[in-house]
Amino acid sequence: MRILLVDNADSFTRNLEHLLLATVSGADVGVIPYVGLAEADPADFDLVVISPGPGRPEDYPAYARVFEVGRPVLGVCLGMQIINQWRGGRTAMLPGCIHGRAEVIDWNGQRRQVARYHSLHVTEAGRGLAVLARNDAGVIMALGSRTHGLLGYQFHPESFMTPEGGIFVVHALDFLGLR
């Protein structure tokens, strides 16, 4: 499987690359910086992964081209917010920043520990996106659309504080119809 991982200048990007390589059998992961996105052809890949990163979703307008190609997209943290913004959803400041906190969320009928690092959060899901998980305070932790091939995680499956991060990658492959 060819995976394009777009790096939004985030220190977690290489951890995300390693998680993808460890979880997806036979994965060929190409990592490019966001500034190089204009030179890549998303149609050449089976999956596009949008990394975490600084700033707000509107700071990354080049992703419109990725979405228009129609390849499955997984977004992590800022990546989820970018997916949501593209579908017309809203993002706002989170009351109090969460940078490096393990938390247990409801996930497919189970309680799973995940890592949170974010100061923004989705306050309104975009067109056609279903909220798939929230934390106990009601903050959206995952959203997506099978129809549109989009999935976002607000938490970081690649963090050491998400002890079973591979489960979320496998879920993404299933959700996006890649397994």
For the annotated catalytic residues, the residue numbers are: 77, 156, 158
Give all strands (DSSP E) within the chain, no chain letters: 2-7, 28-33, 47-50, 73-76, 90-107, 110-124, 130-134, 140-145, 150-153
Q: What is the largest CA-CA distance in the chain?
A: 41
Cα 96 from Cα 40, distance rounded (Å): 37
